[in-house]
Amino acid sequence: MSNIRKIGVLTSGGDSPGMNAAIRAVVRAGIASGSEVVGIRHGYKGIIYGWMKQLKSKDVRNIIHRGGTILKTARCEEFRTSEGREKAYEQLVLNQIDALVVIGGDGSFTGAGIFSKEFDIPCIGIPGTIDNDIYGTDFTIGFDTALNTVVEAIDRIKDTASSHDRMFFVEVMGRGAGFLALQSGIATGAEAILIPEEQGQEEKLRAYLEEGNKRKKASNIILVAEGNNIGGAQEIAKRMADEFKDYNIRVNVLGHMQRGGSPSAFDRFLASRLGTASVEALMDNQRSVMVGWQNHDVVLMPFNKTIKGTRNINKKLLEVADILNT
């Protein structure tokens, strides 16, 4: 039997829709297991400074549909230092917290893994990021909602692009991964998709624009992941406008709107399932693992694997995008 009597839960790094649903699941699953649950505000900084409050079932009522995170989130440079983690451990001891559930990305899991190893604190990770780039899980909390947000925005942009015969370069989030750009590009029929994982995209884009010019195709959507290797949407659009003067080019950067909004049904379900599974893992004496989702079921992935591993783009999707863009 587990000797965990009090669980701390926090959200760390960038926010994503569904984090509140995950918090709700951790709180109620923890209470159902006979443990107290403490909400830690502002991520790891909240551990260091003791920004904690016990959460009852009623405290997480009516939050499953809310975007963002009621616990707030932040990145904490102090926690990266041994002195900062020592302060955090002292606060956990002071507040009699036996284990942590960390909702965030691989950076958050890196910190949790180091902390767990240094101070023997059981830590479980729940993947929450709109980038969907965490190794060991098919989906991360927030990706589905962000995908639908991007698709809705591009559908609207396409209407005005068609009306004015304009080409739009639309930039979406994805500094190191193109999952959001690739899937939303396929879903919206974008004419070109630029992602960090692919090389030689500028030449490919030029070839497409040259061919489109011959066919007098004026209305286009070029989807740009912010971390692609040839520049941001503004920069690429300027270069293409200088070379292809027949096109009426505009730029739209979707920005942080992709992180906000009420979570989709799938993100609510996923967050609820993984939040419950995180408490089950703690009660089963698991530590330094992420609860992930593979083949429609929960899996446990050690932190060292999910941090070191790389989730690769499905090459078949690139082929599909090329076929459908012809």
Q: Kindly name the residue from 15, 106, 120, 131 that is annotated as catalytic.
A: 131
3-state secondary structure of 265: helix
3-state secondary structure of 290: strand
For 79, counting Cβ atoms within 10 Å of its Cβ (0-12 exposed, 13-18 middle, 19+ buried), the class is buried
131 is catalytic: yes
DSSP state of 272: H
What residues are paired with 301 via a beta bridge? 290
Round to whole Å and give the CA distance between 154 and 33. Answer: 44
Round to whole Å and give the CA distance between 122 and 102. Answer: 11
Q: Are 127 and 38 in contact (CB under 8 A)?
A: no
Q: Are 172 and 226 in contact (CB under 8 A)?
A: yes
Round to whole Å and give the CA distance between 139 and 241. Answer: 37
3-state secondary structure of 29: helix
- Residue with the two structure tokens 């009597």: 5
3-state secondary structure of 170: strand
> Which is nearest to 228 in space by CA: 313, 125, 285?
313
Round to whole Å and give the CA distance between 210 and 135. Answer: 38
What residues are paired with 223 via a beta bridge? 170, 193
Catalytically annotated residues: 131
